[in-house]
A and B are shown apart, each in its own frame.
Chain A
């Protein structure tokens, strides 16, 4: 699904987030460049995945978008309305349009409250008064996420990880949002439970037309659930493309290495697959490499890569941040093969 004519549910323009580095006698002045000009949008009912390794800024992005953190620059538009400069009071009633689901369901539910009250909170704040009415609606929602009304009076510690994540989803749904940011929603769950939660998220999307920003490091999962994929590296989007296009081929050397590195649950494919092993690790976002941020690890680096920062530009129906993307035969072969295995 591409943007087309539908008005976007969420639009992010040039989002920047920098943190001052604390500590150290001479630590003053050093800055973490967590996000560096991230621009994207998503339409109603769409899933946009954001992938990348630790330090790429994907979690910071999630928190800035729902304004749990204040972006340093740039803007976030919700249904066309800029929410970036709203004060806390003005923002509060708009918050319900955009919800967030966290990775660790053990940390995201207050242990002191029953499920009825945890899920009911969002309804109460939306102005649904009457304890009985809320209880009825919470029971309905619990049914929707595959838990029964018998969970109403239970406490988080009595639930398994998968059940807690369902409660967290019910809580997000209670706000009746148009956008849900899912920050690694299944990576803390057991393998057999992950599929249950993913299926649930997809079902809810179909039923309620919710758009997801789906943040994950699991590339295989991302290719399953998303309509579009954004690959991030050191605070920047390096490639943004339709999932079907990504399945066929990726154009940025980092995307290529990332997807080729992901193990595939198919012993036959392993033998056929050529893997690109990158040297070293992701550089520190405190002092990211100049010009192209990937040039220190890129197998196809040229002189220009260390001199001039590439723009995120349209290439073959997608956006790529690389000087050479679009040149015939770039990036060289192994990527194609690796990315094609399903």
Chain B
């Protein structure tokens, strides 16, 4: 595709974005192959508790004597999985709401946007806590909770894009040849409205990872799985004596979120023709 190659050319010019992409690539690789190359169960008590990093335990052990490296590698899977799935779900729901509201306008718009605003007015982290607390904490409920608090911003953005596009002559021309609405929405407007949405969704992955960490920190993560937030939560009581226990997963969160933000910004510059000129 010609579009993709020019997109890549523009993306490549942005040094921060490339650095972010490389870093993110390393984190993803660690999540995918790490647990295979380093097959230690993160819940196994493999040594003395609270050991600093050493030759036998590269990143030390936690308060229960579990291997922190194993936790980091397995936690990467959970954090990324939940981050990506939650953003995807939020994007699908948000775009659907925004597209319908923006394209049809009128009462459809009014109803859908009132619903969206209802979600927007509730502080998102509190809402996520409530959703997880009501259902059993698990990967599915945590993902769902994050998606529930994230979709409204996507919906608003998508609505704005659809309103801007629906009045354009090319859309009017499609109506004039008798194209059905679903086709105009999905095949005509969507490709033109999607670039800014993609940028926001990619940035949302970072927010989702942070939210997941926050939930796990509060003990609202999936109890059967290790995540970075869970590791920090476990280590918070010994922060003063064994700082690396929380610093290491904390650094991972920081690096991953930063990398995703850099990639998102890079995508934005590459996709948004107005910003490109500056």
Contact = CB atoms under 8 A, between A and B. Distances in A.
A40 B184 CA distance: 32
Given A121-B177, A171-B177, A100 B172 contact: yes
A92 B180 contact: yes
Interface in A52-106: 63, 66, 68, 88, 91-96, 98-100, 102, 104
B173 A88 contact: no
Contacts of A126: 178
A244 interface: no
A109 B171 CA distance: 9
A125 B178 contact: yes
Interface in B166-196: 168-170, 172-181, 188, 191-192
Contacts of A100: 172-173, 176
A211 interface: no
Contacts of B180: 92
Interface residues of B, number: 17
Contacts of A68: 172, 175-176
A125 B168 CA distance: 20
Contact of A108 (B170, B175, B178, B181): B170
A93 B178 contact: yes
A168 interface: yes
Main secondary structure of the interface of B (DSSP, over half): helix
Contact of A92 (B168, B169, B172, B178): B178
Contacts, number: 59
A110 B181 CA distance: 16
Contacts of B170: 107-110
A335 interface: no
A90 to B, nearest CB: 11
Contact of B179 (A109, A125, A168): A125
Nearest to A94: B178
A111 B192 contact: yes
B188 A95 contact: no
Interface in B128-182: 168-170, 172-181
Given A108-B169, A108-B170, A109-B170, A66 B176 contact: yes
B177 A95 contact: yes
26 contacts: A92-B180, A93-B178, A94-B178, A95-B175, A95-B176, A95-B177, A96-B178, A98-B176, A99-B176, A99-B177, A100-B173, A100-B176, A102-B169, A102-B172, A107-B168, A108-B169, A108-B172, A108-B173, A110-B174, A110-B191, A110-B192, A111-B192, A112-B192, A121-B179, A168-B173, A171-B177
Interface of B: 2, 168-170, 172-181, 188, 191-192
Given A174-B177, A175-B177, 12 more contacts: A63-B172, A68-B175, A91-B178, A92-B178, A102-B172, A102-B173, A104-B169, A107-B170, A112-B191, A112-B192, A125-B177, A125-B178
